[in-house]
Structure 1
Amino acid sequence: MLSLFRLILVSLMISTTAWAEKIEIKSNPEEAEIFIIADDAGTPQKIGKTPFKQDLKELIQTYVKKNNFVFELRKDGYEPYRVLFTKTSNLDVELAVNLEVSREIKTIKKHDLLMVELFDVQKLIRGKNFPDALNKLNLLEKDYPHFSIIAELKGTTYYMMKDVEKALSYYRKSFALNSDNVDSYKMKVYLEKKLGIDTEKN
């Protein structure tokens, strides 16, 4: 759907008898596939890759079946980019497009960063640098509030600090966020028994 993509309307108001000398499309990064969507069915037709330069009149005569048409740029790992044109023009058209990294790739990179941060936290815990470990975990919790591993590591930190009640509260939170977190469940049950709390009610 067009609402999923950036849409720029380029309105070229001139006589229908005059055409642009050329259209030039560049992208960052390069090698983006270029499609033209110009029929009633909205079927994308590949016309080349960036950097791209061609006679616009020729493109229109070959592909365009209605008054408006769309150029779409696609590249793996990036969001598609669409530009809407009217059919008439007597100007050269130059487009320079900065493609945006796709949401999926952004999510993967964000998770990779989390793993690096958690590795650092584990080193701090093993080195008994508990205040810095908790500070890092507090910051991570703001960005990743639904990740059970963060609550689990908080529980581990407090447990090593001999604060059993706080440790239990975070192991419970971790298990509540992810009922498949076996380690958090085992620690939750262990600490509940240690504190004389009925596990079945918690």
Structure 2
Amino acid sequence: MKNLLLILVCFVFSFINESYADQIKLKSEPTDAVIYIRDLNGTIKNKIGKTPYEGNIQEIASTYAKSNFFILVLEKEGYEGQSILLNDLFKSDIELSMNLVAKEDILEFRKLDKNINDLFESQRLLRAQQYDEALVLLKSIEKEQPKLSIVPEMIGSTLYLSKDHKGSLTWYEKAYRMNPENKDAFMMKSYLRKSLGGSDAK
């Protein structure tokens, strides 16, 4: 009975070791991204290859990171780098597929994010009746995002609240030209044309 139990235990451990080979398979889009291994302190950074890549996690940890925990870094010229924390303690295969984002796209996303925050700030300034400050901020957004019809519409609103109705009409007309489905811009430009003695025709 003891021999049978020993054989069974050996079989189970053998099955576990074969099933969990702790291999890592790494792909990236685009390919040929350089793979580095960095320790948690950032003091070690070793190049181990390029994508697509396949290797043994334990060997990577012992040879390059000198630690159970390490950071895998992907870098490619013109693209934003990516990193992921790994360890060799959990015995399982890992397959990773990482999409690298072009730095130009990243910068554009960050600029757009800043512009959206600036739009919210301009709304706050309008509510606080700080029209000059709001106008400066909106015109800077308009230079960076010239295709957004909401920006000239908001400039028109700011000028209207500042009692500059002629200037307001100019910006509402621009907003409507950019987006003929903008009902608010259409209504305001029609109202201002009438109030200024002009035609309200489209």
CA offset at residue 169 of structure 1?
Answer: 0.5
SS at match of 2:129: coil
More helix by share: 2
Please give the alpha-carbon distance, in whole angstroms, between the structure 2 residues aligned to 1:170 and 1:129: 19
Please give the alpha-carbon distance, in whole angstroms, between the structure 2 residues aligned to 1:110 and 1:134: 19
1:79–1:100: 8 Å Cα contact kept in structure 2?
yes
1:152–1:170: 8 Å Cα contact kept in structure 2?
yes
Give the equivalent residue in structure 2 for 1:69: none
**What's the CA shift string for 1:120-165, capped at 9, x where partnerless?**
0011111111111111112212211222111111100110111111
Cα pair distance change 1:196/1:164, threshold 3 Å: same
Larger radius of gyration: 2
Give the equivalent residue in structure 1 for 2:36: 26
Do structure 1's residue 185 and structure 2's residue 191 form an aligned pair? no
Higher RCO (CA-CA < 8 Å; seq separation 6+): 1
Please give the alpha-carbon distance, in whole angstroms, between the structure 2 residues aligned to 1:27 and 1:197: 70
Stretches of structure 1 that go unaligned for 5 or more consecutive residues are 8-23, 36-45, 55-72, 81-98
2:172–2:188: 8 Å Cα contact kept in structure 1?
yes
2:160–2:168: 8 Å Cα contact kept in structure 1?
yes
Please give the alpha-carbon distance, in whole angstroms, between the structure 2 residues aligned to 1:144 and 1:27: 39
One-letter amino acid of the structure 2 residue matched with residue 25 of structure 1:
I
Percent identity between the two aligned chains: 33
Please give the alpha-carbon distance, in whole angstroms, between the structure 2 residues aligned to 1:148 and 1:109: 20
Give the equivalent residue in structure 2 for 1:113: 114
1:34–1:48: 8 Å Cα contact kept in structure 2?
no
Please give the alpha-carbon distance, in whole angstroms, between the structure 1 residues aligned to 2:37 and 2:174: 46
Cα pair distance change 1:171/1:27, threshold 3 Å: farther
SS at match of 1:115: helix
Give the equivalent residue in structure 2 for 1:123: 124
Please give the alpha-carbon distance, in whole angstroms, between the structure 1 residues aligned to 2:37 and 2:120: 37
Give the equivalent residue in structure 2 for 1:146: 147
**What's the CA shift string for 1:44-86, capped at 9, x where partnerless?**
xx3348x9x99xxxxxxxxxxxxxxxxxx789xx569xxxxxx
Please give the alpha-carbon distance, in whole angstroms, between the structure 2 residues aligned to 1:125 and 1:192: 23
Give the equivalent residue in structure 2 for 1:134: 135
SS at match of 2:146: coil
Please give the alpha-carbon distance, in whole angstroms, between the structure 1 residues aligned to 2:169 and 2:36: 57
2:35–2:75: 8 Å Cα contact kept in structure 1?
no
Question: Where does 1:1-202 land on structure 2 (aligned, <5 Å)?
Answer: 25-26=35-36, 34-35=50-51, 46-48=52-54, 78=79, 101-200=102-201, 202=202
Give the equivalent residue in structure 2 for 1:89: none
Please give the alpha-carbon distance, in whole angstroms, between the structure 1 residues aligned to 2:176 and 2:155: 13
1:130–1:157: 8 Å Cα contact kept in structure 2?
yes
1:175–1:184: 8 Å Cα contact kept in structure 2?
yes
**What's the CA shift string for 1:24-59, capped at 9, x where partnerless?**
83189xxxx953xxxxxxxxxx3348x9x99xxxxx
After TM superposition, the score normalised by the length of structure 2 is 0.51
**CA RMSD, aligned part only?**
4.0
**What's the CA shift string for 1:92-130, capped at 9, x where partnerless?**
xxxxxxx76454444333222211100100111111111
